[in-house]
Structure 1
């Protein structure tokens, strides 16, 4: 146990990030995508994305390019968000010294234990306190990245997109029996014996998933009963990497996180689609449907522990109001976002706005809420700089309760 807990420090911090960042590719993503402009506006975009980022949120909006618009390249969009309500990562950092001190003292012969008994009591009491602090602790992270090239035209605008979205979950599985045993030593009611630390069973568990999409999007505007309606589709190859890390206390090694024993992969086909239509000069309605083909993928079973990652359709209607200076948007998921079966679903609603203060400076703000209350609601904000409308740098930040924060950066070129 002690050896395992001592490495919780090394587990929790990389546990989000070996899962996400030691994967076969260097680009990762979350949610279903990150877009700095959309995320700054409360995660909206179904009816308000620009033609160059439409391939991420709603491919139908690629038809909204103007005749003077050029090829758009996102290189790249990248972001991350972390929720750590009980500050598990910081507390596990604090645990390290206590574990090392207890392990050094407890791993002695019986005569040394008796001679050092006051130190053993102090070390056991400190470790029991640290374990109480992390008991039930959970931390959750997402990370994201995308690269896209959009070619606008009046007949069949198209785009090439590579994106990934990933999640990682870390749980401190602390046994009350471990706490009672250590507290008993501290109180003098339990006498430790050499090797007794082997009886401790607390552990840390980690699950991670990364989904890579490689797609080609096309869109076209149709005239239906005298009204223009844009339709877009993105057929894509989808490759999924799942990580299920569960190790005995003396076998934990963070370098094993991506070991074949804990990882499995799955490759399949999927499809995104979208609709968009303008009403008057200032209103746009949109509908996005991502991952229209459902897939359930099981992790490897490790030490009796197994989970299932779910890819299901996420349908989101949206509306935007736009003038020369202002864009305001509202998106509401009509279906939940599912991930691991052991983790609750999310269903988001977002509202946000962009004000174009200058021709090259845009200010943005918004709010995103989880209608199922399984994720933290966040306030969002950001800005964009676009000198000569050729280079676009967009930055966004998110902040919520439960020690939740996130950031997105995006670089876009138009030629």
Structure 2
């Protein structure tokens, strides 16, 4: 398992090194609609957002398979990666006559952060009137690199030597591997249609903690065997949906209701956290048009040592042409320092038995992302 985790983390960092990309949504359809899903997910993607949505299926749906769903996004708001390359080039050719240029390049690195998100998932769902179920696997990896520039590295009294620098670049990668069984049940109370759902899951937390100076920090130096660790635990998701009318659904979901964390002190203290996340959603669906709204009720934080969190108000829309083709768009307004996002995508589902969904996103913090997934229904 450690080899697999090491490969996925280093791969994510390598990808972000070649492009400036931060992620939203756990599957391609949701990403295209601004990350909405709490009230709009189908039975096949309900396990990722709200298990109560497992009851959102048609009479013709018997078994659904989502395999795979892959999404990658990242942001480099202050252009850290390019600035780091520039500084390292200057440092390698350093002479006393380059001190002012060296100082300016080092100062340009201060308080910069790169954030990367990688999602990989699969699900097999069996909807029915008794107890709809879905077995799913989801891997979510969050990678950060952040700088701290120390004033002691400036001035005539300091001669640049990499291993004597006080300034640092810190790389942290953390994530979760969830394997769970989502269950949803619908029932009526005096002509009011409700659904509830629960997802018990085994959860593995993992992280890598790596640091260096601006002169010697290399992204591909991440080594799980040397700098990483993991632990297995248990977690729980809950959800509820209320179908106010034939076309309006209101829903509430809580994910990761048991707070978990993992510490890594191999290269300085670091703690990756998984905290409860609550989202309120609403959806208006009239077959050919769906309009969605999701509101995060609390912030999502990733590392205790990094001042970075996300919280969004999400809007999404889908135009559906006879269930064969879909055109989607969305917007996620950030309530934190993370960038807001524009999203778009398409779905192609000929004959209803096979489908492919594609999505892309652009964020205001110099971020880009993309996602793709395959769907089979029987």
In structure 1, the partner of 2:314 is: 350
In structure 1, the partner of 2:32 is: 40
1:277 to 2:242 alignment: yes
Shift of 1:265: 1.2
> Could you say what the CA RMSD is over the residues aligned between the two structures, in angstroms?
2.7
How many pairs align? 365
Which residue of 295, 315, 333 maps to 1:332? 295
In structure 2, the partner of 1:151 is: 126
Which one has the largest radius of gyration? 1
2:259 touches 2:273 (CA, 8 Å); kept in 1? yes
Shift of 1:32: 8.7
Which residue of 372, 376, 386 maps to 2:339? 376
2:199 touches 2:238 (CA, 8 Å); kept in 1? yes
1:262 to 2:227 alignment: yes
Which residue of 78, 83, 91 maps to 1:91? 83
Aligned residue for 2:31, secondary structure, equals helix
In structure 2, the partner of 1:52 is: 44
2:109 touches 2:149 (CA, 8 Å); kept in 1? yes
Unaligned runs of 5+ in 2: 1-5, 15-21
Residues 1:191 and 1:132: Cα distance change in structure 2 (over 3 Å): closer
TM-score (norm 2): 0.88
Residues 1:47 and 1:381: Cα distance change in structure 2 (over 3 Å): same
Unaligned runs of 5+ in 1: 1-13, 23-29, 103-119, 185-189
Structure 1: how far apart are the matches of 2:87 and 2:374? 40
Greater percentage in strand: 2
Residues 1:88 and 1:252: Cα distance change in structure 2 (over 3 Å): closer
Alpha-carbon deviations, 1:287-336, whole Å to 9, x = none? Answer: 1110111123322252xx31322212111111100112100011111222
Mean Cα displacement is larger for which, 36-45 or 308-317?
A: 308-317
Residues 1:324 and 1:59: Cα distance change in structure 2 (over 3 Å): same
Shift of 1:46: 0.7
TM-score (norm 1): 0.81
1:121 to 2:110 alignment: no
In structure 2, the partner of 1:396 is: 359
Residues 1:196 and 1:409: Cα distance change in structure 2 (over 3 Å): closer
Greater percentage in helix: 1
Aligned residue for 2:77, secondary structure, equals coil
In structure 1, the partner of 2:19 is: none
Shift of 1:247: 4.1
1:20 touches 1:209 (CA, 8 Å); kept in 2? no
Residues 1:250 and 1:385: Cα distance change in structure 2 (over 3 Å): closer
